[in-house]
Structure 1
Amino acid sequence: MTIVYPHTIQNCLGETLTFLSVETSPEGDKVLVENQVSPNSGPPMHTHFRQDEELTVVSGKMGYQVLGQEAHYAQAGESVRFNRGIPHKFWNAGQTPLICRGWVQPANTIVYFLSAIYAAQNKSGSEKPEAFDAAYLMTRYASEYDMADIPTFVKKVIIPITYLIGRLLGKYKHFADAPAPLP
């Protein structure tokens, strides 16, 4: 799959994410990003197992939280770093759009994965991505990403069954160009 930068995605929840460019470095490709998040919106608690992420608030107020810790807030000019393997979330804690710039490193499959998640949310019209697409993405990229708010039973039983039914029904043809997951 070839991506032309800048590459912008939007979901039905008021989030716009622009992948600005990719910088090459010895530590791996770094994708530069800009987020625009509507008030009270933001990604749910999630984990990047193989990537670090840093966001700097350009305007607005960002709430952020690491799983098991209290919420914190960042204003314009302040940066927040989320280390790989640590469940975290952030949201617009203000009344005006939150705009952040930052990076994710190494880039790995983040552009594809988030583009597909946003598309699945748009398909369902809600925070929860369309079930078959979500099952495919959470199964294929389980070594890279996790959603902490999904109950263990759903992850271990419901998602694999949904994935299998989706395969049997031919629901995954639109994922033909999906990049290989990391081992």
Structure 2
Amino acid sequence: MNYPYTYPHTVENLFGEILIFQSIVEENGEKKLMLLNKLSPGAGPPFHVHYKQDEGLTVNSGLLGYQVDGEEEKFLHEGERVVFKRGEMHRFWNAGEDILECEGWVKPANTLDYFLTGIYNSMNKAGKAEGDPFDSAFLMTRYKSEYDLKDIPNFVKKVVFPITVVVGKLLGKYKHFKDAPKPIQ
């Protein structure tokens, strides 16, 4: 897979999340994406899943709250870590009062940098967490074999998003996605 960015590559959204894709390293024959997260108090991604990737976070400073779907909330302090296995619905957030900084990784790297850059850009473009309807529909439909969000109803994912993508293509809304990497099947 060709990675569309040079590293480090930084994305930021209007909701207190900064994500720095630091590098891609080789580990046991797989590409591993190295990350740095900076989250404002209360900020963090909603329940989500990486179907084809494991994700690890180590707290550098601050208090990390996290939850695996169906389990109790848990908290990590400086130096502590968590690993989310592929297919495990999870969320994490800054549970403290200061900036939370975590080092992380995702393995294999796959399309995560492209997907999250598109999601953050969509959120910033729309000024809301749901993002721009056309961009969000495109990304969630194109990469549905890799990522999912718990809070989006199935009807929206299976009916509304595909219709929105067709309309978006007809309206020429996806020129900025012309070099989108193919999803991992």
Structure 2 alignment gaps of length 5 or more = none
Preserved contact between residue 20 and residue 33 of structure 1 (Cα < 8 Å): yes
Spell out, residue by residue over 1:45-73, the C-alpha distance to the aligned partner (whole angstroms, 9 max, x if none).
10100000000000000110111111111
Point out the more displaced range, 159-168 or 171-180: 159-168
Amino acid at match of 1:152: N
Instruction: Give the drift of 1:135.
Output: 0.5
Structure 1 alignment gaps of length 5 or more = none
Instruction: Give the drift of 1:95.
Output: 0.4
For 1:121 and 1:27, the matched residues in 2 are separated by: 34
Match of 1:129 in 2: 131
Spell out, residue by residue over 1:126-161, the C-alpha distance to the aligned partner (whole angstroms, 9 max, x if none).
111110000000111110000111111111121111
Instruction: Summarize the alignment of residues 83-102 of structure 1 with structure 2, pairs less than 5 Å apart.
Output: 83-102=85-104
Amino acid at match of 1:146: D
Which one of 148, 151, 161 corresponds to residue 149 of structure 1?
A: 151
For 1:107 and 1:69, the matched residues in 2 are separated by: 27
Instruction: Give the drift of 1:21.
Output: 0.7
For 2:135 and 2:57, the matched residues in 1 are separated by: 28
Match of 1:76 in 2: 78
Match of 2:10 in 1: 8
Number of equivalences: 183
For 2:184 and 2:13, the matched residues in 1 are separated by: 26
TM-score, normalization: structure 1?
Answer: 0.97
Match of 2:39 in 1: 37
% of aligned pairs identical? 54
Point out the more displaced range, 148-157 or 45-54: 148-157
Instruction: Summarize the alignment of residues 58-77 of structure 1 with structure 2, pairs less than 5 Å apart.
Output: 58-77=60-79
Which one of 104, 111, 114 corresponds to residue 112 of structure 1?
A: 114
For 2:141 and 2:156, the matched residues in 1 are separated by: 12
Instruction: Give the drift of 1:27.
Output: 4.3
TM-score, normalization: structure 2?
Answer: 0.96
For 2:72 and 2:152, the matched residues in 1 are separated by: 20
Which one of 7, 26, 49 corresponds to residue 24 of structure 1?
A: 26
Instruction: Give the drift of 1:97.
Output: 0.5
Which one of 160, 163, 168 corresponds to residue 161 of structure 1?
A: 163
